[in-house]
Amino acid sequence: METIPGVEVKSVNRVHLTWIGDHRFDAGRPGGVTHRIDADAVTGPGPVDTLLNALAACTAVDVVDILAKRRTPARSLEVDVEGARGASTPARLVGILLKYRITGEGIERVHAERAIELAVTKYCSVRDSLDPNLPVRWTLELEG
């Protein structure tokens, strides 16, 4: 693998994408499980939706782990994501809103909010790979 001068590399993720036809592709780790990416959103999420899914999943993993370490594990966690896209071509993301719904006994709002804040601003490698000027906001609906 080519490295970027002056950048220390911990590991390398490798994925393989195969065109299936139309605007459909199967993607995943070589020899591993694949998922469908469909730019027409007929048989799978499109590329931008896939990016938003990755952001939601990445932050959700951290939130679940942080709450579990506090000994207040989540019973359920859902994330709805809204990705606002610009009017010009390419229609890049210009803002993201993550809406977390967490259920769990004994989870205090302040601790759930802190877990989300840490996930979004410190631990999620997907978020950190996006443009740092891209606004990513979040809300929390907590049920105990």
Separation of alpha carbons 118 and 98, rounded Å = 14
Where is pLDDT greater, at 3 or 102?
102
Q: Is pLDDT above 80 for 15?
A: yes
Are residues 102 and 87 located together in one domain of the fold? yes
Q: Residue 70, exposed/middle/buried by CB under 10 A (0-12, 13-18, 19+)?
A: middle
Are residues 69 and 110 located together in one domain of the fold? yes
Residue 82 lies in a domain: yes
Q: Which residue, chain included where needed, has tokens 């929390």?
A: 140
Separation of alpha carbons 126 and 120, rounded Å = 9
| pLDDT digits 0-9 by tens, 65-79 | 999 999 999 999 999
- The pLDDT value given to residue 29: 96
Are residues 72 and 118 located together in one domain of the fold? yes
- The pLDDT value given to residue 8: 87
Total number of residues shown for the chain: 144
Are residues 53 and 29 located together in one domain of the fold? no
Residue 7 lies in a domain: no
Q: Is pLDDT above 80 for 38?
A: yes
Q: Is pLDDT above 70 for 1?
A: no
Q: Which domain holds residue 38?
A: 12-44
Are residues 72 and 105 located together in one domain of the fold? yes
Residue 124 lies in a domain: yes
Are residues 79 and 102 located together in one domain of the fold? yes
Query: What are residue 142's DSSP bridge partners?
Result: 102
Residue 106 lies in a domain: yes
- The pLDDT value given to residue 135: 98
What's the number of domains the chain is made of?
Answer: 2
Q: Which amino acid is at 107?
A: I
Q: Are 53 and 61 in contact (CB under 8 A)?
A: no
Q: Name which of 142, 64, 62, 66 is nearest 106 in CA terms.
A: 142
Instruction: Tell me the H-state helices in the chain.
Output: 47-69, 109-118, 125-129
Query: What are residue 46's DSSP bridge partners?
Result: none
Identify the DSSP state of 45.
Answer: -
Where is pLDDT greater, at 85 or 11?
85
